Amino acid sequence: MAQLTDDCFAFSGPLLRLDDMEQLIHERIASVAETECVPLHGARGRIVAADVKAPVDLPPFDNSAVDGYAVRHADLLPDADTKLAIVGRMMAGGRAGPALDRGQAVRIFTGAAMPKGADTVFMQEDVTVEGSQVIVPKGLKPGSNRRLAGEDAHAGAVVVPAGTVLEAQHIALLAALGVAEIEVRRRLKVAIFSTGDEVVEPGTPRAGTAVYDANRYLLAELLERLGAVVTDLGILPDDPDRLAGALREAASGHDLIITSGGVSTGEADYVRTAVERVGNLVFWRVAIKPGRPVALGVIRGTSGRNAAFVGLPGNPVAVFVTFVRVVKPLLRRLAGARADKLVPLPVRAAFAYKKKKDRREYVRVALKRSADGEIEAIKHPQDGAGILTSLTETDGLLEFPEDITTIEPGARVGFLSYAALVG
Ligand code: AMP
Ligand code: MG
């Protein structure tokens, strides 16, 4: 399992800024070391273990980008049409033809190798053919419509760096380079459970004061989307003995254990008590809103390896926000992925908002194109941490940076889509 020291989450300060949190994760948390070789198909979401270099040039040879006529640019008249003799025909995948001599052209198709001597291709739409001759217009720049060997990727260049989370486009690039297998980090093993005497399984009868479990379903989906293998340990009662037992058991086979509920500072603080029995616990008061303190710790496994522990709040929206802004960076680090590059996109706020300085705040918004064509962000009317429909009826989160305190209607603000946040 992951190699974690007992005090890796220790942090002494009242509030942890998001940037400092990411730095701390980077410095203290080691990634899982084991790797495996997997075929390209099915590798989406896996994390590249070592820099991948292009084994060949891409494209592998100079070729035509269009259907047309390959010529020697030096033969063309600068101020008039040029008449050239058509001396051959080059198809994609066909044999390389003879070199072009002065005054000659070759009929060529997209993807066919450039004949020796030719450096420029006229599109077939732009020329006139007269029998075995082609008349090409003046003015085309040398090298037009020709793709050079290695212009996409040079042999030996790093094309997919270590830590890349493979997407369809990376897989396509590797395939184009002839790579059939890739070395990736092994998947993280993550155990999840919900806590709370009131929490019951959907699909089972619900007594008067019980609520159905939303968090395990939320966490399982978020984790699987990030490539983790999830073990669902169900719902545990508010009982420190049962919780401690479950945590100790899970620590041996998992890199990370995530719970929700039972970490509030009220008297029913069962998870804290349980974790302190079988490991080490610290609270991160991350300077974000929403986001109550998140409990982090290390649970001692029987094999001497420790599992990381994250105790999330009970309210589902708080679970979502703390997951995407706190757990995800930790998870990516553990998994060996590079830090996520989240770029908030500029939109126009359709509401006024006040916030505390030195805290990053996230507001659930729906996007709408306004009459003047600009994209506007409309704040959801309900912003309670338990309001799940405030997540399903919106498109993403506005991110208000630490240094600002007021947002006026019409202000340009940064939007992060749910797709970007959970991917
Ligand atoms: P807690 O942090 O345990 O005090 O829980 C805060 C709120 O979240 C309470 O209203 C709980 O009933 C609710 N809650 C806790 N766990 C879940 C869960 N798994 N699914 C839905 N709601 C939950
Ligand atoms: Mg609870």
pLDDT tens per residue, range 175-204: 999 999 999 999 999 999 999 999 999 999
Residue 400 Cα distances to 24, 150, 403, 405, 411, angstroms: 22, 43, 9, 9, 11
End-to-end CA separation in angstroms for the chain:
24
Judge if the beta carbon of residue 293 lies within 6 A of ligand 1.
no
Rounded distance, CA 399 to CA 373, Å? 22
Rounded distance, CA 387 to CA 383, Å? 7
Ligand 1 centroid, distance to 193 Cα (angstroms)? 12
Judge if the beta carbon of residue 196 lies within 6 A of ligand 1.
yes
Helix axes 240-253 and 270-278, enclosed angle (nearest 10): 50
- The three-point CA angle 154-100-102 to 5° equals 125
Nearest CA to ligand 1 atom 17: 314
Ligand 2 centroid, distance to 50 Cα (angstroms)? 42
Question: 285: buried, middle or exposed (CB in 10 Å: 19+, 13-18, 0-12)?
Answer: middle
Q: What is the pLDDT of residue 357?
A: 94
Q: What is the pLDDT of residue 292?
A: 73
| DSSP-derived 3-state class of residue 236 | strand
Nearest CA to ligand 1 atom 15: 314
Residue type, 385: A
Q: What is the pLDDT of residue 268?
A: 60
For residue 315, give the ligand 1 atom closest to its CA. Answer: 8
Judge if the beta carbon of residue 63 lies within 6 A of ligand 1.
no
Q: What is the pLDDT of residue 2?
A: 65
| Residue recorded with tokens 């982090």 | 296
**Proximal ligand: closest to the CA of 264:** 1
| 34-54 pLDDT per residue, tens | 999 999 999 999 999 999 999
Q: What is the pLDDT of residue 264?
A: 75
Ligand 2 centroid, distance to 247 Cα (angstroms)? 17
As residues whose CB is below 5 A from the ion ligand 2, the structure lists 196, 261-262, 314
Q: What is the pLDDT of residue 97?
A: 77
Ligand 2 centroid, distance to 195 Cα (angstroms)? 6
With the C-alpha atoms ordered 239, 322, 392, 386, is the resulting torsion angle positive or negative?
positive
Q: What is the pLDDT of residue 290?
A: 85
Residue 401 Cα distances to 37, 218, 263, 348, 361, angstroms: 41, 27, 27, 15, 7
Q: Which residues contact 147 (CB under 8 A, 6 or more apart)?
A: 59, 62, 63, 64, 65
Q: What is the pLDDT of residue 51?
A: 98
| DSSP-derived 3-state class of residue 368 | strand
Q: Give 320's Cβ-side CA count (13 Å radius).
A: 24
The closest alpha carbon to 413, from 348, 368, 343, 369, belongs to 348
Which neighbouring-strand residues pair with 160? 52
Ligand 1 centroid, distance to 85 Cα (angstroms)? 80
For residue 235, give the ligand 1 atom closest to its CA. Answer: 19
Q: What is the pLDDT of residue 415?
A: 98
The pLDDT averaged over each successive group of 10 residues in the chain (423 residues) is 80 86 92 97 97 98 98 98 97 90 98 97 98 97 98 98 98 98 98 96 96 98 97 95 94 95 75 92 88 87 85 94 95 95 96 95 97 97 95 98 96 97 94
| DSSP-derived 3-state class of residue 35 | strand
Beta strand 256-260 with 306-312 is parallel
Q: What is the pLDDT of residue 1?
A: 64
Ligand 2 centroid, distance to 314 Cα (angstroms)? 6
HEC sequence for 138-197: CCCCCCCCEECCCCCECCCCEEECCCCECCHHHHHHHHHCCCCEEEEECCCEEEEEEECC
